[in-house]
Amino acid sequence: MFQNALARRFAVEPRLQNPAEIGRYFAGEADGMDGVLVDAFGPLVVLTVYNPSFASEADEMISALRAVLQGERFFVGKVRSEEGEFKFLDPDQILGHHWTALEDGCSYEVRADSKNDFGLFPDARPARLALRQILKPDSQLLNLFSYTCGFAVVACRQGIKSAINVDASPEMLSWGKRNAELNGVDFAVIPELAQKYLARLERRVAAGKVDCPDVWVCDPPAFGAGRGQQRVLKHFWDDFWLAVERLSPRAVLVLRNDRTGYRRDDSLLSEVRSRFGRLYDCSPVTFAQSPSLCYEGHDRFYKINESLVLLKR
């Protein structure tokens, strides 16, 4: 099954035949096994098993992948039990190791990490491809919830004027600066909550101290961390949309994979059009260039409320 899936994937995305590339090799239900994902981060291959029915077969799956994949490869696994807990598999004893991997000509540092921080999310590739299409040479990018600054790497490699990355984790931003070095670019990193940064940006723009970045990317985490009023995403969307209304950037690329239950399935596009239809062309980003990705999947164990929408003036 893995062999057949890889053959299909490589035929549609020939770039993935390069062992240094980042991408999804096996996409759960779409490839015949609900809740089973295989992602390649260059030589690091990650098996994730969300479906507890397959938990006992994880070691055998890794062996099967090892047999069919070419080049020097290192394998880790994340396996969910019936109780909902994850077990981390490290058969090659590589926890903490790092490599340089590629995606569409950009370089990223990837790491074997038991917390699922591998360095880039392969299923956000359509957003990174879409970003390339809306940038201009004088663009200034605002990258909210930037993680390891993947969007800024893409933008700066394309030659934009500047990029600002905002994330609450200084560790992830330091990782992002490492990615900048790998690509021969530079950008600003700001360790701050996105809501606080947006409020400060509004004040500075109103005072004439800075120009508002013309392109925004917003990619919040799937789970809003924290409790009660302090939950990261509890009030974020209202604050974010108000900032868009008041600052009016030229383009806004929004990824929303909110697993917290604050919205209905597939509601993002209708919400955005209702609020911004008179000001922006609001359209979904299609995924024809990355058919292996799971935004449009129906996997019982990996189906999430995930949307990718572009607002463009």
- 43 with 62: CB under 8 angstroms? no
269 and 168 both lie in a single domain: yes
- 98 with 41: CB under 8 angstroms? no
62 and 126 both lie in a single domain: no
Domain annotation covers residue 117: no
Sheet holding 188-191, edge to edge: 188-191, 162-167, 140-144, 215-218, 251-257, 306-312, 281-284
What pLDDT score was predicted for residue 290? 57
206 and 260 both lie in a single domain: yes
Which of 93, 153, 88 has its CA nearest to residue 119?
A: 153
- Mean pLDDT over residues 250-254, rounded? 97
What pLDDT score was predicted for residue 303? 59
pTM (two decimals): 0.92
32 and 148 both lie in a single domain: no
Query: What residues contact residue 114 under an 8 Å CB cut-off, 6+ apart?
Result: 88, 90, 95
131 and 76 both lie in a single domain: no
Average pLDDT, the chain: 89
Residue 242's Cβ-side half-sphere holds a number of Cα atoms within 13 Å equal to 10
Domain annotation covers residue 152: yes
Domain annotation covers residue 193: yes
**In a 10 Å sphere around its CB, with 0-12 CB exposed, 13-18 middle and 19+ buried, how is residue 218 labelled?**
buried
Alpha carbon distance 111, 118 (integer Å):
5
Residue 287: pLDDT band by 50, 70, 90 thresholds? low
Query: What is the tens place of the pLDDT at every residue in 134-172?
Result: 999 999 999 999 999 999 999 999 999 999 999 999 999
Q: Identify the domain boundary among 111, 134, 167.
A: 111
What CATH code is carried by the domain that includes residue 42? 3.30.750.80
Domain annotation covers residue 116: no
Alpha carbon distance 113, 98 (integer Å):
9
181 and 296 both lie in a single domain: yes
What pLDDT score was predicted for residue 212? 98
Residue 101: pLDDT band by 50, 70, 90 thresholds? very high
- Mean pLDDT over residues 227-237, rounded? 65
148 and 86 both lie in a single domain: no
Structural domain count, the chain: 2
137 and 274 both lie in a single domain: yes
Q: Look up residue 72 and give its two tokens.
A: 């020097």
Distance (Å) of CA 249 to CA 91, 153, 191, 279, 311: 48, 20, 22, 11, 9
What pLDDT score was predicted for residue 82? 85
79 and 176 both lie in a single domain: no
- 173 with 146: CB under 8 angstroms? yes
DSSP code of 26?
Answer: E
What CATH code is carried by the domain that includes residue 273? 3.40.50.150
Domain annotation covers residue 30: yes
45 and 99 both lie in a single domain: yes
Q: Identify the domain boundary among 76, 111, 146.
A: 111
Lowest mean pLDDT among 9-18, 25-34, 229-238: 229-238
Domain annotation covers residue 299: yes
Residue 196's Cβ-side half-sphere holds a number of Cα atoms within 13 Å equal to 9
Residues linked to residue 39 through DSSP beta bridges, in sequence order:
24, 46
Alpha carbon distance 235, 229 (integer Å):
8
What pLDDT score was predicted for residue 224? 62
DSSP structure string for 74-119? EEEEEEE-TTS-EEEE-TT--TT-EEEEEETTEEEEEE--TTS--S
Domain annotation covers residue 8: yes
User: Is pLDDT at 113 greater than 50 in this prediction?
Assistant: yes
Count the Cβ atoms, other than its own, within 10 Å of residue 110: 24
Residue-number span of the structural domain to which 193 is assigned: 122-312
Residues in the chain: 313
Radius of gyration of the chain (CA): 20
288 and 191 both lie in a single domain: yes
191 and 286 both lie in a single domain: yes
User: Is pLDDT at 266 greater than 70 in this prediction?
Assistant: no
Residue 306: pLDDT band by 50, 70, 90 thresholds? low
Question: Percentage of the chain with pLDDT > 90?
Answer: 68
